[in-house]
Amino acid sequence: MVVGVGIDIVSPKKVEEAIERWGQDFIERVFNPEEVNPIQKGKVYYQRLAARFAAKEAVVKSLSKNYSLALKDILITNLPNGAPVCTFKKNVDLNVFISISHIEEYAVATAIAQKKNKE
């Protein structure tokens, strides 16, 4: 059963400005090492961080009010084939399916939260 849908859009430039202002503190407050470490510094670095940030926000929006999660409780990583995947640091009885995309000006993500089957 679907419990919610979320969408978010983020400016990679705003993420870059936040990192310039607060440095590593911003990254550590929002992301887990396993989310950031695979991202290579370079031309699309801030786009990829913004896409992960947008995904986290979309996940929060997709959750019913019965779930109280911090951004660091949500993990946005990639499968070996590159597809984004959402997992949680806490035990959550949901599967969340995400899709992310980014270009120079925008990063966008959608999330669909579904109750796990109790089999």
Assess whether pLDDT exceeds 80 at residue 110. yes
56 in Cβ contact with 70 (< 8 Å) = no
**Across 86-109, average pLDDT:** 95
First to last CA, the chain: 14
Q: Which CATH architecture has domain 2-115?
A: Alpha-Beta Complex (3.90)
Match 């925008």 to its residue by tokens. 106
> From CA 119, how far away is CA 98, in angstroms rounded?
24
Task: Grade residue 119 by pLDDT with cuts at 50, 70 and 90.
Answer: low
pLDDT for 118 equals 72
* Residue ranges per structural domain of the chain: 2-115
pLDDT for 56 equals 97
How many Cβ atoms are within 10 Å of 101's Cβ, its own excluded?
13
> From CA 73, how far away is CA 75, in angstroms rounded?
7
**Residue 14, token pair as written in the block:** 């705003």
Task: Grade residue 15 by pLDDT with cuts at 50, 70 and 90.
Answer: very high
